[in-house]
Amino acid sequence: MRNRITVTIFILYILVFAVGSIIAKDRIFSDMENRNLAQFPEVSTKSVFSGDFSDGFEEYMSDQIIFKDFLVKLKVTENKALNQTYVNNIYFADGRYIRDYKEDTVQIDRNVGFVDEFAEANPDFNITWLMVPNACYVYEDSLPSYADVDSQAATIGHIKENVTDKINFVDVSDELVSAKDEYIYYKTDHHWTMNGAYIGYKKLCEALGREPVEKDNYKIEVASEDFLGTLYSDAPVFNADTDEIILYVNEKNSYTVDYIDKGFKQDSLYNYEKLDIKDKYQVYLDGNHAIIRIKNNSYDDTTSSNRVIVVKDSYAHSLLPLLADNYEEIIVVDLRYYHEKTVSELAHEEGISDIIFINNVDFINSDDNFLWLM
């Protein structure tokens, strides 16, 4: 009798998911995973016999299974309840999600080589490189004792040793570690908060010989209290502590942000509409773009260079609204998407000799787009 009940429940379970997945409308995009989902593959004789249809259908079923987000969250919550503190390359550490780090020295050396080559080929450029550690460095004491995380301190040291002296290399690690008890990194996302970015901004201004805007000149506002970031999406659990989105607003200045790749402009450094979606980090400069121009309409300093190109990853998004106060114009380039011309060509066309790189260690460790510098 018990076996019959078990079999019946199992069959009903299969039927619910099978019928539900057929009836439910296919989703195009997953807010949880922040990516487009696989759609039903094209059926053709060629795709069937080549195996492409089979592979595509397997991916389609995996993406479109009904209640997928709920089931993933249920599984991760169960694992965490059983004291499993490492899921999908994420450590659960004192209420914080921390991404694992495995150093790829080959990729790091390749990227540093591209930056060095860029500097050597452009001796007239003034190049500054801000390097930002990730949470696994700043909160390494919070990691489980068994955590096998490579040292980002060693990575940064390796970069320092190999970067050309033509580059003004800026390491903000010590300042961030000293402030680790403050809210400088998100608990559920891989980025630093704007509080952390402000620390990086002050360190960068010091290296550039520019006067940072003091914190009490900003209106600091909590724009959202329910942010769940990218790391949460990789290992979601029920009742996770949410993050705050903090904005620093300089009400004395006015700005124009031209999103050249998308063909629209805004008069704010923040796109407040993005606070209504899951990936609320996009509130900073509307998220990832190939190239944008930030114009400070209130800039009046004629004593120093007033235009700069920033080559960046997404860690720069919450720092650039601060740096905008120190320049009349910032051209922001993301090499993952900007391949229209090289940075060398862009800088010479624009007549700009000041170049700032803003990168986090994990990005230098994994990205392969620095070849677009030249």
Average pLDDT rounded to a whole number, residues 338-367: 97
State the DSSP code for 283: G
Task: Output the pLDDT for position 366.
Answer: 97
Task: Output the pLDDT for position 7.
Answer: 47
- Contact status, residue 223 vs residue 172, Cβ threshold 8 Å: no
Any residues with CB less than 8 A from the CB of 304 and at least 6 apart, and which? 209, 210
**C-alpha–C-alpha distance, residues 65 and 75, integer Å:** 15
DSSP string for 116-143: HHHHHH-TT-EEEEEEE--HHHHTGGGS
**C-alpha–C-alpha distance, residues 73 and 69, integer Å:** 6
Task: Output the pLDDT for position 69.
Answer: 63
**C-alpha–C-alpha distance, residues 199 and 179, integer Å:** 9
Task: Output the pLDDT for position 33.
Answer: 56
- Per-residue pLDDT for 337 more than 80? yes
Phi first, then psi, for residue 345 (nearest 5°) are -65, -45
Would you place residue 96 in the very low, low, confident or very high pLDDT band (cuts 50, 70, 90)?
Answer: very high
Task: Output the pLDDT for position 240.
Answer: 87
- Contact status, residue 233 vs residue 35, Cβ threshold 8 Å: no
Average pLDDT rounded to a whole number, residues 102-120: 98
Residue type, 367: D
Task: Output the pLDDT for position 80.
Answer: 73
- Per-residue pLDDT for 35 more than 70? no
Average pLDDT rounded to a whole number, residues 254-276: 97
What SS3 class is residue 238? Answer: coil
- Per-residue pLDDT for 374 more than 90? no
Task: Output the pLDDT for position 238.
Answer: 84
Would you place residue 85 in the very low, low, confident or very high pLDDT band (cuts 50, 70, 90)?
Answer: confident
% residues pLDDT > 70 (the chain):
79
CA torsion 230-235-241-242 (nearest 10°) is: 20
- Per-residue pLDDT for 16 more than 90? no
Any residues with CB less than 8 A from the CB of 263 and at least 6 apart, and which? none
- Per-residue pLDDT for 182 more than 70? yes
The counts of H helices and E strands in the chain are: 13, 15
Label residue 286 left, alpha or beta by phi (over 0 means left) and psi (-120 to 50 means alpha): left
- Per-residue pLDDT for 130 more than 90? yes
Q: Which of 178, 186, 220 has its CA nearest to residue 203? A: 178
Would you place residue 6 in the very low, low, confident or very high pLDDT band (cuts 50, 70, 90)?
Answer: very low
- Per-residue pLDDT for 17 more than 50? no
Higher pLDDT, 13 or 239: 239
